[in-house]
Amino acid sequence: MRQRVKRILLLTPPFYRLFKDSYALVKYPLSLGYLAAALKRGTDWEVLAYNADFAPAAEPFDVVYLTGKGFQDYLSALANSSAGVWSEIKTVIAACSPSVVGISCTSPTFAAATMTASLVKEIDPSITVVAGGPHPTTAWRQVLENPHFDLCVVGEGERTVVDLLKSLEQGTDPAKIKGVCSRNKDGITAAPARPAITDLDSLGFPHEHAPAVLHDYERYPLTAFKNIMATRGCRNRCFFCGSHLIWGRRVRFRSPENVVAELKSLQNIGLHFVHFDDDTFGVSSEYLTALTDAIKQQCPGLRWSCETHVSLITRENLRAMKDSGCALIQLGIESGNNRILKLMRKGFSIEQAKSACALIRNHDIGLETFFMAGFPYETEESIRDTLEAIKRIECDKLIYSIFTPYPGTEAFALCRERGLIGDNFDLSRHCHQSPVNAFCSDLAPERFRSLSAEIEQIVSEKNKKGLETGN
Element (H, E) at 182: strand 180-184
- Number of Cβ atoms within 10 Å of the Cβ of 69: 12
364 pLDDT above the threshold of 80 = yes
d(CA 388, CA 400) in angstroms, rounded, equals: 14
236 pLDDT above the threshold of 90 = no
User: Over the stretch 410-423, which tens digit does the pLDDT of each residue have?
Assistant: 999 999 999 999 88
User: Over the stretch 371-407, which tens digit does the pLDDT of each residue have?
Assistant: 999 999 999 999 999 999 999 999 999 999 999 999 9
Read off the pLDDT of each residue in 218-228 and give the average, rounded to a whole number: 97
Closest CA to 244 of 252, 342, 463: 252
- Number of Cβ atoms within 10 Å of the Cβ of 407: 20
Cα-based torsion angle of the residue sequence 388, 315, 467, 54 in order, rounded to the nearest 10 degrees: -100
Q: Exposure pattern of 327-346 as b/e (b: 16+ CB <10 Å)?
A: ebbbbbbbbbbbebbebbeb
CA distances from 347 to 232, 239, 302, 313, 404 (A): 20, 11, 32, 13, 20
Closest CA to 129 of 164, 156, 86: 164
Give the CATH class of 226-469: alpha beta
- Position 26: which residue type? V
d(CA 311, CA 118) in angstroms, rounded, equals: 45
Listed in sequence order, the residues at least 6 apart from 469 whose beta carbon sits closer than 8 Å to its beta carbon are none
Read off the pLDDT of each residue in 89-117 and give the average, rounded to a whole number: 97
87 pLDDT above the threshold of 70 = yes
d(CA 171, CA 87) in angstroms, rounded, equals: 33
468 pLDDT above the threshold of 90 = no
Q: What is the structure's pLDDT at 4? A: 67
248 pLDDT above the threshold of 90 = no
Read off the pLDDT of each residue in 100-116 and give the average, rounded to a whole number: 97
Average pLDDT along the chain: 94
* Of residues 468 and 186, more confidently modeled: 186
User: Over the stretch 129-170, which tens digit does the pLDDT of each residue have?
Assistant: 999 999 999 999 999 999 999 999 999 999 999 999 999 999
Q: What is the structure's pLDDT at 238? A: 84
Whether the Cβ atoms of residue 288 and residue 320 lie closer than 8 Å to each other: yes
Element (H, E) at 307: strand 303-308
Alpha helices in 249-349 (DSSP H): 256-268, 285-298, 315-323, 338-344
Whether the Cβ atoms of residue 301 and residue 266 lie closer than 8 Å to each other: no
Q: What percent of the chain has pLDDT over 70?
A: 98
- Number of Cβ atoms within 10 Å of the Cβ of 105: 25
Q: What is the DSSP string of 64-104?
A: HHHHTHHHHHHHHHHT-TTSHHHHHHHHHHHHH--SEEEEE
Q: What is the separation, in whole angstroms, between the first and last Cα of the chain?
A: 54
Report, at the CATH architecture level, how domain 7-190 is classified.
Answer: 3-Layer(aba) Sandwich (3.40)
467 pLDDT above the threshold of 70 = no
Residue 404, burial from CB neighbour count under 10 angstroms (0-12, 13-18, 19+): buried
Domain residue spans in the chain?
A: 7-190, 226-469
Q: What is the structure's pLDDT at 469? A: 58
CA-based radius of gyration for the chain: 22
Task: Determine how β-strand 303-308 pairs with β-strand 273-276.
Answer: parallel
Helix (H, G, I), strand (E, B) or coil at 286: helix
Read off the pLDDT of each residue in 331-338 and give the average, rounded to a whole number: 97
